[in-house]
Amino acid sequence: MVELKTDTSMDAMYEAGQVVGQALTAVEKAADVGVSLLELDEVARGVLRGAGASSPFLGYRPTFATTPFPAVICASVNDAIVHGIPNDYRLRDGDLVSIDCGAQLGGWAGDSAISFTVGAARPEDVQMIETAERALAAGIDAAVVGNRIGDIAHAIGSVCRAGGYGIMDDFGGHGIGRRMHEDPPVPNEGRPGRGLALRHGMVLALEPMLIAGGTDRYREEPDGWTLKTADGSRAAHVEHTVAITDTGPRVLTAR
């Protein structure tokens, strides 16, 4: 069931989204050659703690997971697409890093992700991140009353495919509200004019995930969480929580 949020609820979700944005900004600023992924997780924990927020990631265990998630950020490096568990890996010059973070504040959730490079960036990584951000922007532009979920999916997928990138079939965006994952699912590829009609009060997390090698195939790591590209190529992931309103899309996690 899709819950329509009131304007007051969307305002409260904006507050949660701003905490997420602050955490991501702090993590990106702290990310440098030699810094560990665990240290980045600590940075995000500090921002959440300072805002009086909790993490919807920490302890989260969906049906596909064998163990609860142990951190407040997903830290995915190079060929890791999403759901990377922070560990003692220390960032190296040229790494491509994707950070996903959520916050729970006042009973409402926010969810967002960024991708960036550390040190000397590879031009192809910069291009993929820029394409991911364009795909996200296209999805947001399509998130208007009267459109359908398929219009968002088509907008995102068209940008990704035009750039020659692969897209995971089984993972995409989602509804969000009191819980981090709610109905409806939002694929990263689809047919326009299909699916659930968008209405004022729907709140969606849109999250393009791009695979540089052009293949859609991926593999799961033994940790039961991290998803990596099947061919070892690099990946990028960006995300915003977006409210559908009668006056247009409202990005609740804008930084």
pLDDT in the model for residue 210: 98
Q: What digits encode the pLDDT tens for the residues 71-105?
A: 999 999 999 999 999 999 999 999 999 999 999 99
Q: What is the C-alpha radius of gyration for the chain, rounded to an integer number of angstroms?
A: 17
State what percent of residues in the chain have pLDDT above 70.
Answer: 100
Q: What digits encode the pLDDT tens for the residues 147-189?
A: 999 999 999 999 999 999 999 988 999 999 999 999 999 999 9
> Whole-angstrom distance between the N-terminal and C-terminal Cα of the chain?
30
46 pLDDT above the threshold of 90? yes
Please return the burial class of 103, using the count of CB atoms within 10 Å of its CB with bins 0-12, 13-18 and 19+.
buried
User: Which tokens is 91 given?
Assistant: 């960032």
pLDDT in the model for residue 176: 98
pLDDT in the model for residue 185: 97
pLDDT grade for 242, boundaries at 50, 70 and 90: very high
Domains and CATH numbers, the chain: 7-251 (3.90.230.10)
65 pLDDT above the threshold of 90? no
pLDDT in the model for residue 64: 83
Q: Which secondary structure element, helix H or strand E, spans residue 49, and what is its range? A: helix 37-51
Q: What digits encode the pLDDT tens for the residues 110-132?
A: 999 999 999 999 999 999 999 99
C-alpha span between 122 and 95 (Å, rounded): 9
63 pLDDT above the threshold of 90? no
> For the chain, what is the mean pLDDT?
97
